[in-house]
Amino acid sequence: MHDLALKLNETLNGTCARILLSDYGKRMYVPKGIIVQSSEAKAKATKYNATIGVALENGTAMYIPAMKAQFAESMKPGEVFPYAPMGGVADLRKAWKDDMYAKNPLLEGKKTSLPVVVSGLTNALSIVCSLFLEVGGDVVLPDMYWENYDLILNEQRQANRIVFPLFADGKLNLDGFDKAIASAGEKVVVILNFPNNPTGYTPTDSESDSLAAILKKHADAGKKIAMVTDDAYFGLFFDDEPCHQSLFAKVCDLSGNILGIKCDAATKEEMVWGFRVAFITYGSKGLTDEHYDALAQKTMGALRGSLSSCALPSQNILLKGMLDPNHNADKAMGVKKIGERYFALRKALERHASSKALEVVPFNSGYFMSFRCECNAEDLRRYLLDKYQTGIIRSDDHHIRLAFASVDLDKIDGLVDTVYKAAEELS
C-alpha cells in the first residue's frame, strides 16, 4: 500500500470512517504528482512554470475564438478552458456548503466536510460505494430504487443487497428498515433516496426522526454504518407533508458509529441537467477537520483515478448563477411550476379512485409518482406506446412510473386518463 494511503488511514484511525473503508478505500490517496506539483508551482514559480499540460499564452489558457464565442462575455477564458481543481472550484464548494446549511437548519452548529465536486449523482454514488462498500459487502436499500443502483451495486461491487419493501400497508416501512439493518453484518452501507425515484415519496418529519432513531439504535449496539443519502431531488417539496430537510442533517452527528454521506447535485436542484455537477459531503460525530481532509483526499484520489477532475465551465456557470441576486426567486418559480403539475396530478387521480386496474403508490414530492398495476407492466408500457402514443417507464413486472415534472400542466389530465384507460383495457 502506498505511503500516502497509509498516512491517510493513520489519520482516520479510531473513527468509524476508518473501519468502514473498503480495501479500495484504504488504498486511495492523492498522488503528489502532476496535479499537486503544478498547484505548488502555481503559487511559487513566478519566473518559469513548465508543469501543467495546458497550452498557455501570457499566463492564460490558449483558446479558439469560435469556442470562446459560445460563452457569454462575462465568462473569462480562465473560467472556461483550463482544468478545474481536482476537488472542484473552491468558491463553488464553499457556496454549495453554505446553501446546504441554509436549506437544512438542523445543520447549524454541526461540523461537516467541505463538499467535493464530482461529475453527477451517478459518479457520486459510484465513488462512495467504491470507497466504503467492500466487494461482496452488505448494503441495505429499499425495493423501489433508481436503476443505476443495479450497475453500481451488482456489477461494480457485487454487493450483498439486503432489500426491504419501501412501503407496508400504505406507509413507510420502518419495521422493514429496522430488520434489514439488523440482518446485516457489523459493517453496512445504507442507501436511502428521498424524494424517492421512482415513487416520489419523502418521509414525514416523524418518519424521518424514526429512521434516525433506528440507525442510532443499531449504531449504539456496535454496528458501523455508512449512511448514504441520495438527495438527487432534494428541495422539490410542494406542501407541508414531507420533511423539508435531508436525513443527512439528522444523522451527521448522531453517533460515532455512523458516517453520514450526502450525495447531492445541481442537476435537479438547480435545473442544470447537462452540467454534470454533483457533490459528496461527509459528517460524523467527533470527526475533526483533519479527519474530513483525509476523507476528501481519498475521495479526490478516487476521482483522480477515474475522471481526473470535473468540467470547469459548468462549475463556474453554476457558481455565477447561484450568486445572482435573482437566483432564489427564479428557482422558486421553477419549483412552483412543478408543484402545480403535482397538485393537478393529485386532483386527476381522485377521479379514478374507484379503478381496480391501478393502485397509486404513496408520493408527496420530487419528479415522479408510481402505480402498481394488475396487468404486466411491460405489456402496459408497450400498449400505451403503440395504441396511445404515450410514454411511461416500467419499473418492474407490476410497477410503472410517471414523470409528472416532464409533462406540461395542461396535459396532466389527459395523461392520467389515458394511463387508466389503457390499464383497464388490459386488465
In the CATH hierarchy, which fold is given to the domain comprising 328-426?
Answer: Aspartate Aminotransferase, domain 1 (3.90.1150)
Mind listing the pLDDT tens digit for each residue in 80-117?
A: 999 999 899 999 999 999 999 999 999 999 999 999 99
Res. 33: pLDDT tops 70: no
What percent of the chain shows pLDDT beyond 90?
90
Q: Which pLDDT score, from 0 to 100, does residue 42 have?
A: 73
CA dihedral angle for residue 285, residue 195, residue 338, residue 267, rounded to 10 degrees: 60
173: closest CA among 135, 141, 146?
A: 141
Q: Strand pairing partners for 193?
A: 230
Neighbours of 159 (CB within 10 A): 21
Mean pLDDT taken over the chain = 95
List phi, psi (to 5°) of 114: -75, 130
DSSP 242: S
377: closest CA among 426, 329, 410, 339?
A: 426
**What are the grid coordinates assigned to 198, written together?**
421512482
Res. 130: pLDDT tops 70: yes
Please report, for the chain, the start and end positions of each structural domain, with discontinuous segments joined by +: 3-30+86-323, 328-426
Tell me the average pLDDT across 59-76: 90
Using N-to-C axis directions, what is the helix angle for 121-132 and 289-304, rounded to 10°? Answer: 110
What is the DSSP pairing of strand 399-403 with strand 368-373? Answer: antiparallel
**What are the grid coordinates assigned to 331, written together?**
428557482
Mind listing the pLDDT tens digit for each residue in 350-372?
A: 999 999 999 999 999 999 999 99
Q: Which pLDDT score, from 0 to 100, does residue 308 have?
A: 84
d(CA 164, CA 395): 16
DSSP 150: I
Q: Which pLDDT score, from 0 to 100, does residue 35 have?
A: 64
More confident residue, 24 or 43: 24
DSSP 236: -
User: What is the secondary structure of 364-387 as a DSSP string?
Assistant: -BSSEEEEEESS-HHHHHHHHHHH
Residue written as grid cell 473569462: 76
Res. 229: pLDDT tops 90: yes
Mind listing the pLDDT tens digit for each residue in 145-164?
A: 999 999 999 999 999 999 99
CATH code, 3-30+86-323: 3.40.640.10
Res. 15: pLDDT tops 70: yes
Q: Which pLDDT score, from 0 to 100, does residue 36 have?
A: 67
Equal fold, 3-30+86-323 vs 328-426: no
Q: Which pLDDT score, from 0 to 100, does residue 307 have?
A: 87
Res. 190: pLDDT tops 90: yes
Q: Which pLDDT score, from 0 to 100, does residue 31 have?
A: 87
Tell me the average pLDDT across 291-319: 95
